Amino acid sequence: MASFKIAILISGRGSNMAALINAAKAEDYPVEVALVLSNREDAQGLEIARAANIPTQVIKHGDFDGREAFDAAMTEVLAAAGVRLICLAGFMRLLSPEFCQRWRDSLINIHPSLLPSFKGLNVHERMLEAGVRIGGCTVHYVRPEMDEGPILVQAAVPIASDDTPDTLAARILKQEHRIYPLAVRLIAEGRARPTGGMVTIDNFELPDSCLINPPL
């Protein structure tokens, strides 16, 4: 039924990949996971994909001279698979500007903060050090700059005073698994369109609720 093909790029356990695969099992989900690609042959997520009968491929970045050659090899495989959207899910390689331009507006990422705050690494530790009361996660279109690009979906997650980086990361991850399939659905259904630095979403209503931490 689904004709909108996506590829998922992973480097490790692939928990967000698994969330997308599980979402695609539903009859009303308009997406087919056509390929899972990894730069590491020992990525745990590859076994999850194979168990779900999804084609997998490994392209080792160490086999290439530089980012551009590696990215060009990925583009060849992705284009051959006929994918319309590429989802980064813990893919631990910086992508070249050429790759980002080739797949512009067809390449998305998920990040464990409410962008544009806390870009980069060690996000959960930095949120706790800053003392913010609300963290979260973001799905966004990819641009050449790290953690830049029009924002598709965000989820807000309250932070407790006794949180550790691990407890906070686990709570945020649960929301990542909810919003990534939502973002992909919005794109596949043609309801989300990047316009300039923002994303326009059709048939969208603001929720009535508001997250306050600590609560009133």
Place of tokens 């945020």: 172
- Cα separation, 191 vs 143, in Å, equals 20
- Cα separation, 127 vs 114, in Å, equals 10
Pairing of strands 192-195, 198-201: antiparallel
Inter-CA distances, 186 with 22, 33, 114, 193, 204, Å: 17, 15, 19, 9, 10
In eight-state DSSP terms, residue 26 is S
61 annotated active-site: no
Paired tokens of 7: 């590829």
User: What phi, psi does 205 have (nearest 5°)?
Assistant: -125, 135
Active-site option among 111, 124, 140, 177? 111
Q: Which residues are catalytic?
A: 111
